[in-house]
Structure 1
Amino acid sequence: MKSNFPSISGKYLINGEWYESKNLKEVINPADIKEVVGEIALCSQNDISQAVDAAADAFKKWSQTSIEERSNIMRQAADKLEVIIKENISLFVRENGKTLVEAKKDLMRCVEITRKGPDLLKDWWKTIDLSDEHQKVQVRRRPRGVTAVIAPWNSPMVLTFKRVIPAVLTGNTVVFKPATDCPLTIMNCLREVAACFPPGVINIVTGSGRLVGDELCSNKKVKAIAFVGSTETGKTIIKNAANTVKKLSLELGGNDPAIILPDANLDKENMQKLRLGVLRASGQVCSAIKRIYVHNSKYDEFVTKLEKEFQRVIVGNGMHPDTTMGPINNEAQFKFVNELKERTAQEDGVNVLTAGRKLNDESWNDGYFMLPSIVTGVKQESEIVRLEQFGPIVPVLPYSDIEEAINLANDTEFGLRASVWTEDENQAIQLAERIEAGAIFHNNHTIFKDLRLDFPGLKESGLSTETFYGGLEFFTDSYGFAN
């Protein structure tokens, strides 16, 4: 029933006004595909152009506001956001598929980003003095202009806030596009934030990725694009943005390797970290472990212990407190992972070990549920090793020496994250210098708990710069002032 839909359903935001659309797409609960959680508006090209125009007009005044004013408004937004977090947790679970624990963490991180942003801005914005005895030279910063932020469906909350908040804090205006498979919670939360700012500072357009993306990339008034999503879509954005030479921040796909060295401690704590590294958010994380390379001497022990860890997993509706892994988010991804699993199982010598248990047998086929799997006997050339599977299935391959492990880990077009598992930290550092990834973890494979930190991927996994200031650097232009 539409009466049960969130009030944001079917709407979009331009210049402080919420509009309703007659062209709509249903948002489905991946744990119960019969349930329609809400609707998303399918904006027209004219809607998108109007949103960009509104952002461009608002930029003229917003870019000239003081850091103090921007920071004060953002702190007010954080207060308003914190009030509505609890009531949005269940909505996020229902449209995304995460567990209650995962959903709450994501939403609370958004409050943290919003609250801490102003403190970072104060120190970061200071003028840098490069003067010497011959000339006075300063490095100053200014906002770039209208910024397009395009979010993915897998982790839309944190990944959106890590871009929208620094963009607005640094004096830019934003046109935001959420993913059509998971738009409602992020729109609910941004509604509270946007209401604190002048009209046009934050605008929200929804609908077709191709239509909205193409328009944002080609519109001359858009000066920067911050995108999180697939590598293929990222390549399209690069091509479409080339004509107007936009500034790009692209967090793209990953095929993260984990290397288990001969001296690795395979105790309960480390095996649990490995399980979470693979199966967090049902494996639908660009920086999840996608390939595991284990030294021959540890291989059998490792597979046995990882399977035991996977057996602990309870797959079901994320609303149930006993669930430890929810469903795949959408039908297309569900089909992709299942078909990949079936093709892999047909390869010579391959064994697919499926583990875990179903929360509820009766409702299993009502959602996009998958039990987690470990693949053994697979070759480096196999499709499941080469692709970003983005689901709860991981190949485990043996290696004989360090050189082979490094070559196998680097044998990919991706380079987002990696991990090295050893009791020797110095050896871990030596390996990290040779692994082609934007960040390498030692005895863990997780996220950066300090939300200020950002490290781009290498190769086809991204395009941006590392920062200690929560992304502030990307959203500004530096210029020299000299006399």
Structure 2
Amino acid sequence: MNQNLINFFPKENEIPEHFRLQNEISQKRVLIDGEFIEWEGPFQEVYSPIYTRSSSTDELIKTKLGSYPICTTKESDLALKSALKAFNGGRGEWPSMSVSQRISAMENFIVKMVEQREKVVKLLVWEICKSYKDSEKEFDRTVDAIKCSIEALKELDINSSRTKADEGVVAQVKKSPYGVVLCMGPYNYPLNETFATLIPALLMGNTVLFKPPRRGTLLFEPLLNAFKECFPKGVINTLYGRGKDVIPALMQSGKINVLAFIGSSKVVNGMIKEHPNANSLHSVLGLDAKNAAIIDKTADIDLAVKEAVLGSFSFNGQRCTALKIIFVHSSVADEFNKKFTQEISKLKVGMPWEENVTITPLAEPDKPQYVQKCIDEALQNKGEIINKENGGGQILNSLVSPTVIYPANEKMNLLYNNEQFAPIIPIVPFDDLESPISYITNSTKGQQAAIFSNDEDTVSYLVDALCCQVGRININAQCQRGPDTLPFNGRKNSALGTLSTIDALYALSIDSVVATKDTQSNDNLIDTVIKSGKSSRLS
């Protein structure tokens, strides 16, 4: 790794032609009630984490990408009224549509979404510095997930269309929408994880208030026309601006039926407290994680190193499923650390358009300073940067080189207990399996864990000890979300509700039961209603 981080930032003429920004994106449109409101108020300027070097002085210069509206409670109130009107107590056009009609609208949206692929991917690269390859992957995976959700909904609709008879009662159980969904996604997967709740919410007949993440806002601008053209008025409404300005009034209204949020538990806890009818608010949440890897003395060290490097540093460690702390048995710690740091030294640092790049500038402006605090606290508590000779611990503006701290301990609160969400990883030596088990058990977070061992007794012991502590246990593999058909959840403060292709449809809808006594006259009546097609619910 080059010791001088400034050389990783490009001069303007060094940016490949395909990735150069032609014009700033001045977003002046807000989609509310099926119409674009031309914004005439203040705007939030958007700058890229990618700095450019002056051709003469090597000074680092910010890159402005564009701007978007800073809306107020007035606009959030208009959006809420629009969504309420479109839902109309479940009798609106969208919730009253048949499943096949909603699917048709969504398939039309997919076509229009794919037409904007290159624009969205390019903005992913510039707004959050995700590598071009991973940005393409995020877009394509999102499209595939929408298609899988459609197929899952078709099957769900077929199964729920059958009537059931039991104990003298005949009934039809179907999934019905909750109502108005407030959908907020994270900056690290602004498209994929936002759509992980937004798309199922729409497919199940809800109406949506959609607030893009603070970083990763402009990339939705190319999709606004598709939202407007594919769905009835008021079904999807956009919210822009500062969360503290537009969210409290929505929650205080008591009219938000579902909060679909992926981000910080601290933020969402404050939002939920604003709602006056807590029991009527259904929440689907993806929150903090401190995923631990446990490297046993019988582990295949080469495999563990490979998976741990990917798990810790893919996209700068800015993934909720990233490994955030590694426990290594003392007997293999030296071997693991040596091979681990060797592999880290091979990670490519650079700009997101470069081939095979792993470490790119961080999207959060204050994150580099936070990493420095983590390093300082670790060094004050007998920790060392064990990859310092390969650049570990270097920070310049938005760029942070991958950093490994060993031996980590509980006195390093920032790294030991908190989710760092950055390219820095603490390694903790252990002699007794109860040490990592105790850490995971006592943690307030419980998303995933990774076990590396080739001993059946150890694997059995750890799986049984951790199965009630985390949502997913990975054996000889890094933590991850996919495939999307598997449940994605978490225990404790890490999640509320389950997401996957089918689970998301369940999470964004509720069972609706229509029942009657099983008599001939009632059977004839229900049969007539269904055949007539006059009821959108009984079908």
TM surpasses 0.5: yes
Tell me which residue corresponds to 1:371. Answer: 401
Shift in CA distance, 446/10, structure 1 to aligned 2, threshold 3 Å: farther
Query: Retained in 1: the 8 A contact 2:152–2:501?
Result: no
Q: Which moved more, 1:64-73 or 1:426-435?
A: 426-435
Shift in CA distance, 2/397, structure 1 to aligned 2, threshold 3 Å: closer
Tell me which residue corresponds to 1:172. Answer: 206
Mapping of residues 300-339 of structure 1, within 5 Å: 300-339=334-373
TM-score, reference length from structure 1: 0.92
Query: Retained in 2: the 8 A contact 1:80–1:193?
Result: no
Query: Retained in 1: the 8 A contact 2:119–2:222?
Result: no
Query: Retained in 2: the 8 A contact 1:55–1:201?
Result: yes
Amino acid at match of 1:481: V
Amino acid at match of 1:14: I
For structure 2, the 5+ residue unaligned runs are 1-19, 52-60, 517-539
Q: How far is the alpha carbon of 1:380 from its aligned partner? A: 2.6
Mapping of residues 399-438 of structure 1, within 5 Å: 399-424=430-455, 427-435=458-466, 436-438=469-471
Tell me which residue corresponds to 1:35. Answer: 63
Amino acid at match of 1:22: G
For structure 1, the 5+ residue unaligned runs are none
Question: Counterparts of 2:456 and 2:172 in 1: how far apart (Å)?
Answer: 40
1:53 aligns to 2:71 (yes or no): no
Question: Counterparts of 1:31 and 1:135 in 2: how far apart (Å)?
Answer: 64
Question: Counterparts of 2:226 and 2:399 in 1: how far apart (Å)?
Answer: 33
Tell me which residue corresponds to 2:506. Answer: 473
Tell me which residue corresponds to 1:24. Answer: 43
Q: Deviations over 1:163-184 (max 9, x none)?
A: 1110110011111001222211
Shift in CA distance, 53/373, structure 1 to aligned 2, threshold 3 Å: same
Q: Which moved more, 1:109-118 or 1:127-136?
A: 127-136
1:149 aligns to 2:183 (yes or no): yes
Q: Deviations over 1:416-455 (max 9, x none)?
A: 1111111246743542332211111111124333223332
Q: How far is the alpha carbon of 1:396 from its aligned partner? A: 0.4
1:343 aligns to 2:362 (yes or no): no
Query: Retained in 1: the 8 A contact 2:254–2:276?
Result: no
- Pairing partner for 2:425 from 361, 376, 394: 394
Identity of aligned residues (%): 28
1:15 aligns to 2:33 (yes or no): yes
Question: Counterparts of 2:444 and 2:103 in 1: how far apart (Å)?
Answer: 40
Query: Retained in 1: the 8 A contact 2:76–2:247?
Result: no
Q: Deviations over 1:205-230 (max 9, x none)?
A: 11112222212322333211100111
Shift in CA distance, 190/418, structure 1 to aligned 2, threshold 3 Å: farther
Tell me which residue corresponds to 1:261. Answer: 296
Query: Retained in 2: the 8 A contact 1:257–1:289?
Result: yes
Question: Counterparts of 2:96 and 2:267 in 1: how far apart (Å)?
Answer: 34
- Larger Rg computed on CA atoms: 2
Q: Which moved more, 1:384-393 or 1:454-463?
A: 454-463
Question: Counterparts of 1:130 and 1:193 in 2: how far apart (Å)?
Answer: 37
Q: How far is the alpha carbon of 1:377 from its aligned partner? A: 2.1
RMSD, matched Cα = 2.3
Q: Which moved more, 1:159-168 or 1:17-26?
A: 17-26
Q: How far is the alpha carbon of 1:258 from its aligned partner? A: 0.6
1:68 aligns to 2:87 (yes or no): no
Q: How far is the alpha carbon of 1:133 from its aligned partner? A: 3.7
Question: Counterparts of 1:192 and 1:168 in 2: how far apart (Å)?
Answer: 14
1:246 aligns to 2:281 (yes or no): yes
Shift in CA distance, 156/225, structure 1 to aligned 2, threshold 3 Å: same
Q: How far is the alpha carbon of 1:356 from its aligned partner? A: 9.2
Question: Counterparts of 1:441 and 1:190 in 2: how far apart (Å)?
Answer: 38
Q: Secondary structure at the match of 1:423?
A: coil
Amino acid at match of 1:73: A
Q: How far is the alpha carbon of 1:280 from its aligned partner? A: 1.8
Mapping of residues 196-207 of structure 1, within 5 Å: 196-207=230-241
Q: How far is the alpha carbon of 1:303 from its aligned partner? A: 0.9
Shift in CA distance, 354/186, structure 1 to aligned 2, threshold 3 Å: farther
Q: Secondary structure at the match of 2:504?
A: coil
Amino acid at match of 2:148: K
Q: Secondary structure at the match of 2:446?
A: coil
Q: How far is the alpha carbon of 1:132 from its aligned partner? A: 2.4
Amino acid at match of 1:35: T
Question: Counterparts of 2:228 and 2:335 in 1: how far apart (Å)?
Answer: 53
- Pairing partner for 1:99 from 120, 124, 131: 131
Q: How far is the alpha carbon of 1:341 from its aligned partner? A: 1.9
TM-score, reference length from structure 2: 0.83
Q: Secondary structure at the match of 2:493?
A: helix
Q: How far is the alpha carbon of 1:74 from its aligned partner? A: 0.9
